[in-house]
Amino acid sequence: MSLAGLRVALLAPIAWPTPPAGYGPWEQVAYDIAEGLTERGLAVTLFATGNSRTHAALDSVVPVGINEDPALDGDVYGALHIAKLFSRAGDFDLIHNSFDWKPLTYALATTAPPLVTTIHGFSSPQILAAYYAAASRSFFCSISNADRDPGLDYLATTYNGIDPAAFTYVDRPGDYLVFLGRFHPEKGTHLAIDIAKRAGVRLKIAAIPQDVEYFRTQVEPHVDGDRVQFLGPVEREARDALLGGALALVHMTTRPERFGLTMIEAMACGTPVLGARMGSIPEIVVDGETGLLCDDVEDAVRNVPRLRDLSRRACRTRVETTFSRERMIDAYLDAYARALAAGTPPAPTASALAARDRDYWDRPQAFTDRREKPRTLRSGNPFARRS
Amino acid sequence: MSLAGLRVALLAPIAWPTPPAGYGPWEQVAYDIAEGLTERGLAVTLFATGNSRTHAALDSVVPVGINEDPALDGDVYGALHIAKLFSRAGDFDLIHNSFDWKPLTYALATTAPPLVTTIHGFSSPQILAAYYAAASRSFFCSISNADRDPGLDYLATTYNGIDPAAFTYVDRPGDYLVFLGRFHPEKGTHLAIDIAKRAGVRLKIAAIPQDVEYFRTQVEPHVDGDRVQFLGPVEREARDALLGGALALVHMTTRPERFGLTMIEAMACGTPVLGARMGSIPEIVVDGETGLLCDDVEDAVRNVPRLRDLSRRACRTRVETTFSRERMIDAYLDAYARALAAGTPPAPTASALAARDRDYWDRPQAFTDRREKPRTLRSGNPFARRS
C-alpha cells in the first residue's frame, strides 16, 4: 500500500540523540523508522533532540540528549518534548509515539489525530495504569508477540528492524563469545561470564553501566583482560567488528526479553545467538538454525561447541527477511493504514478487561524485582471514551 | 466584583487528600480555595484524590493520596490526574492550577481556557524551563512578593489564607517555643533547637520526616523529652492546641521561605513568630508587632525574652485582615477577573526576558543546595505563541 504524503509526527526518546552514537536502542529504532518512512514518501516530522540527524523534518525542544548533559532535567524536558509535539497535533494525520507512556496522558488531554504507540517495554507494573487509561486513545504495537500485556489489545506486532547494509557480514565463525548491552541483572552478564568460563571460551563484554553495584560485584571481579575482557561501551564501527568476529552473542536474560536489538545486530553480521528460551528470544532466534536456545547455564555450556556448526549465512538471511528496516517499515505502514481506517481504537475486548481485573502478580510473566503490589486502573476507567 | 456562575476547574496536588488530615499545606490551601470560591457562587470542580472532601464538584483519578499508599506511582497518577482535568477543559471558563509545573506542559499541548497557575515554589532551578516555556499560556500568581522569579511576569501575589475560625485564639502567652512542619535543613529545625537551648526555653517539635538523615543527625540527638520534645506529626486539633499554647513559633529558615503557612496558623492562635529576616517572613510578620525578625541565632536568642511582650491580639488581627481565607478568595477573584479580561498572558516584559538570559546562579535568591548549573529555556522559546 502507499501512504505517500501522509503527515506523520514521530516522537523519539531524548535520552540520546537520534540516531545515538553508541548505546540507545530506542533512539536507533526511531531513527530507522524516520528514515524508512521518509524514503517511502511519507511527510515525517521527527521530534527528537536538537543534535539529531534525519532526512525527515526535525523539531526539538531539548538541545542534546538528557544523558549527555547532567544539568538537563529529564522530567522537565521530557514533558516539554511531548508537549511540543501535541501543540502541533493539528499539523499531522497520525502521531507515532515511540517514547513510553507519558505521551498517552497528553493524548488523553487533547484532541489529536490517530495515535499509534510502540510499547518498548513496561518499565514497572505501575505504568500499566497509564496504558489502561489510554486504551481508547491509542493503538498499541508490541515489539514481539511475547511482550504483550494481557490487559491490552494490540494493533500489531512490529518487530524492530535494522539496516543490514550497516552491518558487515563475516562468513567465518570467531573464537570468542560476546556480551553487548547494559549492565543490569536482567541482562544476565553474570550468566554469560559463568557460561564462557565453564565452556573454556573467551568472553568479550561491551556495555554501558546501568546498575553500577551489579557491575562492581558481579562483573568486574571476573574481568582479567584475557578470558573475560571488558571493552567499555563501543560505538558503531567497533560494535560491528566486535559482533562480526564473535562465535556467538550470549543473551541469557533473567527476565523475559522484550525484543533484543543486539540479537539481530549480531545475526546481521552472521553471528548466531546463544540465548535463554524466554520472552522474545524464541521468536527472533530459530533454534538450531540462527542460534541455540537454552533452558539454563548447564544447557548453555553444553551448547557452546555446537555454535560453530550453525550457518552464519542463515543468520544474515534471517535478518534480511524478517528483521530488516524495510520489513519494520512495512509493518508500520500496515499498522498506520489500519489505525487510519479505524479512526479510534476498538473498545477493549472482554479478555483484556478480565486481564486488568486479575492481579498483575498472578500473571505468568512477572517482573523479577517484585516490590510493592501496585494499584492499577481496572475496568472502571475514569477516562470516559471520547465520541 | 461577582464571578458567580463562573465554571472553574481547580487542580489540587494529590500527595494527600484535600484537605489533608495532617501535613499537606498545598492540599490545605486548595481545599480553602475550593470552599471559598463555592461559597461565593462560582461553579467549582475540584480535581483531587478520591478521598477528598469538598462542597465543590469532585473529580478524581487517584483513589487516595500518593503518600498514603506506597504502591501508587506518583508520576503515573500525577500525569493521569492532570490529563483528566485537561480532557474536560471544554467544560470550564477558567483553569486554576495549584499542582506545580507539569500541568503547564499540558496547557502548551492543548487549547484550553485561560489558565492561572499558583506557584507554590520552585522545587529546583531546572523547572524554570517549564515556566518559561509556558509563559504565553499561563498567568502566574506568587504566594509572596519575595518568592518571584525575575524571569517571569506575575498577575498577582495571592497570599495563602486560612479560616481563622478553624484556629482557637489564646490570649495568654505560653512558656515554650514550637517548631512545626517538616524535617529539612532549609526549615532550620537545628537552629530552633540551638536557640531554645541557649535561651533556656522549652522547645516542642511537631513535624513529618522529609530528610531522614537530617532528622537522625541534627534533631534526634537533642530530643530529651523535656527541654527538647518531639511529638511526631500532629493532626488538626492537636496542632491547634500546640500552636495556641506556645510562647512563639520559631521559623528560622536557612533559605528564603516562599510563604510559610505555619506562621499564619500560629498567629491565628495569637502566637507570634520568631523568624528569619529572609524570604516571605518580613511580609507576613510585622516586626515588633506580630513577631520578631532575626538576622542570626544570636539575634534570635536575644529576642526570646521580648516575645512575651508582643500583643497576641495583634497576631490574630493580622491574620483576619490580611491572611484569612476570605482575603485569599478576594485576591483570586481579582486575579481571575483580570485573566479573563486579558484572555492570554501578555508577552514577557523586557526585564523578564533579560532575567532569563542572566545566569540563574548570579541571582540574589539562590538555592543553598547548589549542584549542577542548569540549562534553561532562554528568550528563544521553542514554543511559538498561539494566536
**Mind giving me the DSSP string for A162-231?**
B-GGGS----S--SEEEEEEEE-GGG-HHHHHHHHHHHT-EEEEEEEESSHHHIIIIIGGG--SSSEEE-
Do the Cβ atoms of B61 and A133 come within 8 Å?
Answer: yes
- Confidence check: pLDDT of A363 > 90: no
Helix (H) or strand (E) holding B268: helix B261-268
pLDDT at A370: 36
- Confidence check: pLDDT of B175 > 50: yes
pLDDT at B385: 45
- The SS3 call for residue A50 is coil
Mean pLDDT (chain B, rounded) = 91
- State the nearest Cα–Cα gap between B73 and chain A, in angstroms: 6
* Residue B36 vs residues A61, B263, B318, B333: alpha-carbon distances, Å: 39, 21, 19, 10
Could you tell me how many helices (H) and strands (E) chain B has, helices first?
A: 13, 13
Write the residue in B63, B79, B85 that is nearest to A130 by C-beta: B79
- The SS3 call for residue A360 is helix
Residue A383 binned pLDDT confidence (cut-offs 50, 70, 90): low
Residue B370 binned pLDDT confidence (cut-offs 50, 70, 90): very low
- Residue (of B3, B225, B8) closest to B116 by Cα position: B8
- State the nearest Cα–Cα gap between B90 and chain A, in angstroms: 10
Do the Cβ atoms of B80 and A372 come within 8 Å?
Answer: no
Dist CA B140 CA B119 (whole Å)? 7
Helix (H) or strand (E) holding B72: none
Dist CA A50 CA B298 (whole Å)? 53
Q: What is the DSSP string of B76-116?
A: HHHHHHHHHHHHTGGG-SEEEE-S-SHHHHHHHHS--S-EE
For residue B373, what is the nearest residue in chain A, using CA coordinates? A71
Do the Cβ atoms of A87 and B101 come within 8 Å?
Answer: no
Which positions ≥6 away from A33 have C-beta within 8 Å? Answer: A10, A96, A98, A328, A329, A332
Do the Cβ atoms of A382 and B61 come within 8 Å?
Answer: yes
CB proximity under 8 Å: B 45-64 to A: 60-61, 63
Q: In the 8-state DSSP scheme, what is residue B219?
A: I
pLDDT at A322: 98
Could you tell me how many helices (H) and strands (E) chain A has, helices first?
A: 13, 13
The predicted-structure confidence for A77-129, as pLDDT tens digits, reads as follows 999 999 999 999 999 999 999 999 999 999 999 988 999 999 998 888 888 99
Q: Which three cell numbers stand for residue B156?
A: 498577582
Q: What is the pTM of this model?
A: 0.89
Instruction: List residues bridging with B291 in a β-sheet.
Output: B273, B287
- Confidence check: pLDDT of A361 > 90: no
Chain A residues in contact with B61 (beta carbon < 8 A) = 133, 377, 382-383
- Residue (of B80, B2, B97) closest to B333 by Cα position: B2
The predicted-structure confidence for B12-49, as pLDDT tens digits, reads as follows 999 999 999 888 999 999 999 999 999 999 999 999 99
Residue A1 binned pLDDT confidence (cut-offs 50, 70, 90): low
Dist CA A150 CA A209 (whole Å)? 32
Do the Cβ atoms of B87 and A108 come within 8 Å?
Answer: yes
pLDDT at B23: 85
**Average pLDDT rounded to a whole number, residues B340-351:** 92
Do the Cβ atoms of B374 and A71 come within 8 Å?
Answer: yes
pLDDT at B255: 86
Dist CA B175 CA B194 (whole Å)? 17
Chain A residues in contact with B85 (beta carbon < 8 A) = 109
B374 shares contact with chain A (CB less than 8 Å):
yes
Which candidate in B47, B58, B72, B108 is best for mutational testing of the A interface (most A CBs within 10 A)?
Answer: B108
Do the Cβ atoms of A102 and B79 come within 8 Å?
Answer: yes
- Residue (of A177, A203, A175, A134) closest to A356 by Cα position: A134
Which positions ≥6 away from A32 have C-beta within 8 Å? Answer: A19, A161, A162, A163, A325, A328
Q: Which three cell numbers stand for residue A311?
A: 550457518
Is residue B224 a contact partner of residue B204, using CB atoms and an 8 Å limit? no
Do the Cβ atoms of A83 and B105 come within 8 Å?
Answer: yes
For residue A70, what is the nearest residue in chain B, using CA coordinates? B372
Size of interface A-B (CB pairs under 8 A): 125
Is residue B273 a contact partner of residue B266, using CB atoms and an 8 Å limit? yes
A166 shares contact with chain B (CB less than 8 Å):
no
Dist CA A309 CA A305 (whole Å)? 8
**Average pLDDT rounded to a whole number, residues A191-201:** 97
pLDDT at A380: 58
Percent above pLDDT 70 for chain A: 92
Do the Cβ atoms of A124 and B73 come within 8 Å?
Answer: yes
Q: Which residue is associated with the grid cell 473498545?
A: A347
- Residue (of A287, A289, A292) closest to A314 by Cα position: A289
Q: Which three cell numbers stand for residue B384?
A: 511559538
Helix (H) or strand (E) holding B68: none
Chain A residues in contact with B72 (beta carbon < 8 A) = 126, 374-375
State which amino acid sits at residue B311: S
- Confidence check: pLDDT of B369 > 50: no
Dist CA B217 CA B220 (whole Å)? 6
For residue A74, what is the nearest residue in chain B, using CA coordinates? B126
Write the residue in A127, A130, A374 that is nearest to B71 by C-beta: A374
Is residue B36 a contact partner of residue B325, using CB atoms and an 8 Å limit? yes
pLDDT at B378: 47
For residue B86, what is the nearest residue in chain A, using CA coordinates? A109
Is residue B376 a contact partner of residue B125, using CB atoms and an 8 Å limit? yes
Do the Cβ atoms of B129 and A76 come within 8 Å?
Answer: yes
CB proximity under 8 Å: B 76-95 to A: 76-77, 79-80, 82-87, 89
Residue A210 binned pLDDT confidence (cut-offs 50, 70, 90): confident
Which positions ≥6 away from B185 have C-beta within 8 Å? Answer: B211, B214, B218, B254, B368
B72 shares contact with chain A (CB less than 8 Å):
yes
Q: CB-hemisphere CA count at 13 Å for A379?
A: 11
Write the residue in B105, B110, B386 that is nearest to A80 by C-beta: B105
A8 shares contact with chain B (CB less than 8 Å):
no
Mode of pairing for the β-strands spanning B273-276 and A228-230: unpaired
pLDDT at A242: 97
Q: Of B99-103, B310-314, B372-376, which gets the smallest average pLDDT?
A: B372-376
Do the Cβ atoms of A72 and B382 come within 8 Å?
Answer: no
The predicted-structure confidence for B255-288, as pLDDT tens digits, reads as follows 889 999 999 999 999 999 999 999 999 999 999 9
The predicted-structure confidence for A14-63, as pLDDT tens digits, reads as follows 999 999 988 899 999 999 999 999 999 999 999 999 999 999 999 999 99
- Confidence check: pLDDT of A266 > 80: yes
Instruction: List residues bridging with A176 in a β-sheet.
Output: A202
Do the Cβ atoms of B127 and A73 come within 8 Å?
Answer: yes
Do the Cβ atoms of B71 and A382 come within 8 Å?
Answer: no
Chain A residues in contact with B70 (beta carbon < 8 A) = 372
For residue B66, what is the nearest residue in chain A, using CA coordinates? A375
For residue B372, what is the nearest residue in chain A, using CA coordinates? A71
- Confidence check: pLDDT of B373 > 50: no
Do the Cβ atoms of A83 and B109 come within 8 Å?
Answer: yes
pLDDT at B71: 82
- Confidence check: pLDDT of B379 > 60: no
B102 shares contact with chain A (CB less than 8 Å):
yes
Q: Which three cell numbers stand for residue B218?
A: 541534627
Q: Is A217 left (phi over 0), alpha (psi -120 to 50) or beta?
A: alpha
- State the nearest Cα–Cα gap between B110 and chain A, in angstroms: 6
Chain B residues in contact with A126 (beta carbon < 8 A) = 71-73, 76
A382 shares contact with chain B (CB less than 8 Å):
yes
**Average pLDDT rounded to a whole number, residues B162-168:** 95
- The ipTM assigned to this model is 0.88
Biggest alpha carbon–alpha carbon distance for chain A: 64
* Residue B362 vs residues A115, B370, B371, B376: alpha-carbon distances, Å: 44, 12, 14, 14
Is residue A328 a contact partner of residue A159, using CB atoms and an 8 Å limit? yes
Chain B residues in contact with A89 (beta carbon < 8 A) = 109
Dist CA A207 CA A229 (whole Å)? 11
- Burial of B138 per CB tally in 10 Å (0-12, 13-18, 19+): buried
pLDDT at A358: 74
Do the Cβ atoms of B127 and A383 come within 8 Å?
Answer: no
Instruction: Name the phi and psi angles at A71, rounded to 5.
Output: -80, -10
B226 shares contact with chain A (CB less than 8 Å):
no
pLDDT at B380: 58
pLDDT at A371: 35
* Residue A121 vs residues A99, A142, A260, B12: alpha-carbon distances, Å: 11, 8, 11, 31
Chain A residues in contact with B130 (beta carbon < 8 A) = 76, 79-80
Dist CA A14 CA B374 (whole Å)? 17
Mode of pairing for the β-strands spanning B7-11 and A248-251: unpaired
- State the nearest Cα–Cα gap between B130 and chain A, in angstroms: 6
- Confidence check: pLDDT of A385 > 80: no
B123 shares contact with chain A (CB less than 8 Å):
no
pLDDT at B381: 62
Percent above pLDDT 70 for chain B: 92
